[in-house]
Structure 1
C-alpha cells in the first residue's frame, strides 16, 4: 500500500540555506523515485497554524518512504533544512488501491 511523506514549511529563516537544501534534496531523490503529488503550489489553510508551503511525496510503501528519508543523501540535505526553516514532516500510510 502506498505511503506519503508530507512536509509543511511553517517559517523560513535563511533563504540561502533553503537553496542549498533544495539542491541537495533534489539530488537525494535519485534511486528512490518518489512521485511528487504536491510541490509548493497554491494552497489555502482551512484550519490550524499558518504555513508557507507544502510537499507531498508518494512512495510504494512505508519502507520505501523511510529508506528515502533515512538515506545518507537526504540526511545530508536535511541538515540544511534544519538551518533554513521550521518544518513539520510526517509519513502516513495510504489506502490500498482499488
Structure 2
C-alpha cells in the first residue's frame, strides 16, 4: 500500500544556507526507496483554519520503504541541515488505496463504536 511522508514546515525569512544544501541532496536519498515529491511548497489556498508555512508531500511505494528512507544513513546525514534551521512536523501515513469507500469506512467505525 502506498505511503506518504507529509511535512508542515514553518519558517520566518529566507532559508539558512544549509537548507539549500538539504534541498540539493534529498532526492538522492529518496531514489533508492522509489520515492517522489507530490507537493513541494506550492501555492496554497487555506480554506479553513490557519496554515502558516509550507507543505511537502512525498510518495513512497510502502510504509516500510518510507520508514527505511527516514532511518537510512543517507537521509540521517542530511536531516540536520533542515531540522536545525526550520521548525516543522513530519509524519508518515499509509494511503487508503484505490478501492477505499468512505461510506463503508463510516459503517465499520459505527459498528466498532456502537458496541
Establish whether TM, by shorter chain, passes 0.5.
Answer: yes
Higher relative contact order (CA 8 A, sep 6+): 1
1:95 deviates by: 0.7
- Taking a change above 3 Å as real, the CA distance of residues 12 and 64 of structure 1, as seen in their structure-2 partners, is farther
How far apart in 2 are the matches of 1:23 and 1:41?
17
Question: Rg larger in 1 or in 2?
Answer: 2
Partner of 1:23: 24
Any conservation in 2 of the 1:12–1:86 contact (CA below 8 Å)? Answer: no
Deviation at 1:27, TM superposition (A): 2.1
Aligned partner of 2:35 in structure 1 is 34
Q: Which residue of 1 aligns with 2:9?
A: 9
Question: 2:49 aligns to what?
Answer: 47
Q: 1:17 and 1:79 mapped to 2: Cα distance?
A: 9
Q: Could you list the runs of 5+ residues in structure 2 that have no partner in the other structure?
A: 100-115
- How far did 1:36 drift? 1.7
Structure 1 segments, 4+ long, off by >4 Å, are none
What per-residue deviation string (whole Å, max 9, x for no partner) do you get for residues 18-38 of structure 1? 112112212212311212211
The answer as to 2:66 corresponding to 1:65 is yes
Report the Cα distance in structure 1 between the residues aligned to 2:90 and 2:37, rounded to whole angstroms.
15
Structure in which a larger fraction of residues adopt helix: 2
The whole-number CA distance in structure 1 between the counterparts of 2:24 and 2:85 is 13
